[in-house]
Amino acid sequence: MTTIAIVGAGRGLGAAVARRFGSGGFDIALISRNQQRVDALASDLAGEGLTTRGYAADVRDPAALASALDRAGQELGPVEVLAYSPLPQKEFLRPVLETTAADLAGAVEFSIYGPLTAVHQVLQGMRFLGRGTVLFVNGGSGARPNPNVAGTSIAFAGEGAYARMMNEVLEAEDIHVGQLIIPGAITPGHPTHDPGVLADTLWRMHTDRTGFRVFAEDMAL
Structural domain count, the chain: 1
Local confidence pLDDT in tens for the 221 residues of the chain: 799 999 999 999 999 999 999 999 999 999 999 999 999 999 999 999 999 999 999 999 999 999 999 999 999 999 999 999 998 888 888 999 999 998 899 999 999 999 999 999 999 999 999 999 999 999 999 999 999 999 999 999 999 999 999 999 999 999 999 999 999 889 999 999 999 999 999 999 999 998 999 999 887 55
Length of the chain: 221
Domain range enclosing 15? 3-215
What pLDDT was estimated at residue 220?
58
* 221 lies in some domain: no
Residue 142's domain is classified under what CATH number? Answer: 3.40.50.720
The verdict on residue 59 lying in a domain is yes
- In a domain, residue 97? The reply is yes
The amino acid present at 12, given as its one-letter code, is G
Query: Is 34 among the domain residues?
Result: yes
Distances (CA, A) of 14 to 44, 92, 108, 196: 13, 21, 22, 10
Amino acid identity for residue 74 in this structure: Q
What is the rounded distance in angstroms from the CA atom of residue 15 to the CA atom of residue 213? 22
Is 0.85 surpassed by the pTM of this model?
yes
Closest alpha carbon to 85 in 166, 10, 185, 196: 10
Instruction: Report helix angle 13-23 to 195-208, nearest 10.
Output: 50
Is position 161 within any domain?
A: yes
| 220 found inside a domain | no
Residue type, 66: A
Mention every residue, 6+ apart, whose C-beta is less than 8 A from residue 66.
Answer: 117, 118, 120, 121
